């Protein structure tokens, strides 16, 4: 299958690769366990009560396996995909027949996925995401690799002549190699590639708190079980176990925390490593593509113009490594769908710059003006997060425990520092076409978008804001909403008018 003219291929209803039968079988089995696990246990118990003979069990097993195979074969047999006019059509279903049609111009992103089985069979999953109301998502689970790539190119080609994608990946050095595919310009640039060392750094700097909580629950649970099983005499045995620390309770806690930390570190390291193995972000003409995964090779792509906004930021540990998490938000239909977000688990400042330059144009020549938020923020947050809780807690504990409660007053200077840091970090950057917000307390977060991607604007004022001539501005986009609080009313109004002017005078399409 090396036809260079894909036109002829997709207008006739076609089945997927025969490998689909196997894939469907596994999917059905998976579904049975996932959705029917509640039924399986009683069914199993009932079977045991019947006390069947061996041969009866074999017959039963044979029947079940046959049913699975027949259903999978029929699903394969009845599954067709083709192109009719300006739409992609999927027909499927054994008893209930469904027909999905998806117009080319609704296509948002096209993703490839490949698990180990699919890799062995030489097929992959093609996922087509759509935007807009009442549209669906199409997923073809067993397409031959080159057929899938042809289909993707065909769809992207039909959707817009300007949006061109390239199938093969090549390094910038051999991009001038002329190939037989003359019907499209092909040039793939690697924007960033994560080396194993980077992955280890990313794994270490992952947010461990979440996995820690899960593990803590897990470890405590096991400990509890052990105690019951072995009839632990707590005081003695634990002292034996953690004898090196005098205070037994502290020792237990310390041990648990150490174990949990270590385990969660190992697990997130492993997860990050295998999930993002050989992570690459590629630029192919007008598109950005992400490829990653060891056991499950995945690919996610979107066109540059579909990206509505981006964000990047670090955390305390990532800062040490100079790492940033970078996210791109393509137009996602009605609700923001995190599945469509293209996120880079870790990259360096130079990578951030490369991608920003690609999406927003050379950032070195863009001039931004800075705007802090109103100083009233400090007063208000100090009052609500610092003074009021501190006074309340102090009063409460003083009544119950006496003067120890006064320690809670230390909360006030702490809160003041935190609020002040947040105030200083928060900056609104404006250029003629771009809006960028910088914020964070312990970390540095940034988000950025073109004015012309804004879908609607909302300016609101609470009684407090009215008294102080402040306002909140919300910018709605198809990717992610931006909300700016504690702006002076005049700035907010000016910005709103300017954004409206930019949007309304923007002649091209926003995606």
Partner 1 sequence: MLFENPSIEINELPSTEALDFKKLDPRYLTVKIVNHTIFFSFSGLGLVLFAWLRDGFPFNPVYLILLGAWVVIYLITLWYMIKAFQFKGYVLRERDIIYRKGWLWSSTTIVPFNRIQHCELSQGPFEKTYNLAKLNIFTAGGQSSDLRLPGLKKEEAARIKEFLVNQINDHNKPRS
Residues binding partner 1 (CB under 8 A)? 131-133, 331, 333-336, 367, 369, 371, 430-432, 454-463, 466, 474, 476-478, 481, 491, 493-498, 500-501, 503-504, 506-507, 510-511
- For residue 158, the minimal CB distance to partner 1 (Å) is 18
* C-alpha span between 288 and 342 (Å, rounded): 9
Residue (413 or 456) nearer to partner 1, CB: 456
Type and span of the H or E element at 477: strand 470-477
Contact of 188 with 170, CB cutoff 8 Å: yes
Contact of 172 with 164, CB cutoff 8 Å: no
- For residue 381, the minimal CB distance to partner 1 (Å) is 20
Residue (151 or 450) nearer to partner 1, CB: 450
- For residue 308, the minimal CB distance to partner 1 (Å) is 9
Residue (272 or 437) nearer to partner 1, CB: 437
- For residue 159, the minimal CB distance to partner 1 (Å) is 16
Which pairs from 28-31 meet CB under 8 Å and 24+ separation?
Answer: 28/68, 28/71, 28/72, 29/68
Contact of 435 with 310, CB cutoff 8 Å: no
Residue (322 or 456) nearer to partner 1, CB: 456
Residue (438 or 488) nearer to partner 1, CB: 488
Contact of 89 with 45, CB cutoff 8 Å: no
Residue (90 or 428) nearer to partner 1, CB: 428
- For residue 458, the minimal CB distance to partner 1 (Å) is 5
* C-alpha span between 129 and 112 (Å, rounded): 11
**Among 371, 375, 351, 360, CA closest to 448:** 360
Please give the structure tokens belonging to residue 353. Answer: 């710059």
- For residue 312, the minimal CB distance to partner 1 (Å) is 22
Length of the chain: 511
Residue (347 or 478) nearer to partner 1, CB: 478
Helices (H), 279-387: 316-321, 349-360, 376-381
Contact of 342 with 327, CB cutoff 8 Å: yes
- For residue 309, the minimal CB distance to partner 1 (Å) is 11
């Amino acid at each position: 299958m090396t036809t260079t003219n894909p036109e002829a291929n997709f207008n006739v209803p076609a089945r997927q690769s025969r490998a689909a039968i196997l894939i469907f079988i596994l999917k059905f089995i998976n579904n049975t366990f996932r959705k029917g696990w509640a039924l399986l246990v009683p069914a199993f118990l009932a079977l045991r009560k019947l006390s069947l003979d061996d041969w009866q069990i074999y017959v039963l097993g044979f029947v079940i396996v046959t049913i699975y195979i027949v259903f999978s074969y029929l699903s394969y047999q009845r599954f067709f995909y083709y192109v009719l006019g300006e739409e992609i059509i999927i027909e499927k279903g054994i008893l209930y027949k469904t027909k999905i049609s998806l117009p080319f111009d609704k296509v948002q992103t096209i993703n490839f996925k490949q698990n180990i089985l699919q890799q062995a069979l030489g097929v992959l999953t093609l996922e087509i995401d759509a935007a807009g109301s009442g549209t669906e998502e199409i997923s073809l689970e067993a397409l031959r690799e080159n057929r899938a790539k042809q289909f993707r190119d065909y769809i992207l080609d039909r959707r817009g002549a300007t949006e061109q994608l390239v199938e093969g990946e090549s390094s910038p050095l051999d991009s001038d190699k002329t190939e037989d595919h003359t019907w499209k310009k092909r040039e793939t640039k690697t924007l960033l590639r994560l080396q194993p060392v980077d992955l280890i750094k990313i794994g270490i700097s992952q947010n461990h708190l979440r996995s820690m909580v899960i593990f803590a629950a897990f470890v405590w649970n096991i400990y509890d079980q052990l105690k019951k099983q072995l009839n632990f005499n707590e005081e003695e045995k634990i002292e034996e176990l953690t004898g090196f620390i005098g205070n037994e309770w502290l020792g237990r806690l310390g041990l648990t925390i150490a174990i949990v930390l270590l385990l969660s570190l190992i697990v997130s390291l492993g997860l990050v490593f295998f999930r993002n193995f050989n992570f690459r972000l590629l630029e192919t003409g007008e598109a950005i593509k992400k490829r990653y995964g060891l056991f499950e090779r995945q690919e996610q792509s979107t066109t540059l113009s579909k990206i509505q906004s981006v964000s990047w930021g670090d955390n305390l540990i990532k800062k040490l490594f100079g790492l940033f998490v970078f996210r791109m938000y393509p137009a996602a239909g009605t609700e923001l769908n995190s599945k469509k977000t293209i996120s880079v688990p870790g990259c360096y400042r130079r990578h951030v710059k490369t991608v920003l330059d690609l999406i927003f144009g050379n950032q070195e020549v863009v001039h931004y003006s800075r705007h802090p938020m109103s100083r009233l923020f400090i007063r208000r947050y100090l009052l609500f997060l610092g003074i009021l809780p501190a006074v309340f807690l102090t009063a409460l504990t003083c009544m119950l425990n006496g003067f120890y409660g006064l320690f809670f007053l230390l909360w006030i200077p702490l809160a003041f520092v935190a609020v002040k840091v947040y105030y200083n970090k928060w900056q609104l950057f404006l250029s003629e076409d771009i809006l960028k917000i910088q914020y964070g307390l312990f970390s540095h977060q940034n988000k950025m978008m073109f004015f012309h991607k804004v879908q609607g604007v909302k300016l609101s004022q609470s009684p407090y804001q009215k008294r102080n001539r402040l306002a909140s501005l919300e910018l709605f986009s198809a990717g992610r909403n931006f909300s700016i609080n504690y702006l002076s009313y005049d700035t907010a109004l000016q910005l709103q008018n300017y954004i409206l002017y930019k949007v309304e005078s923007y002649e091209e399409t926003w995606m």
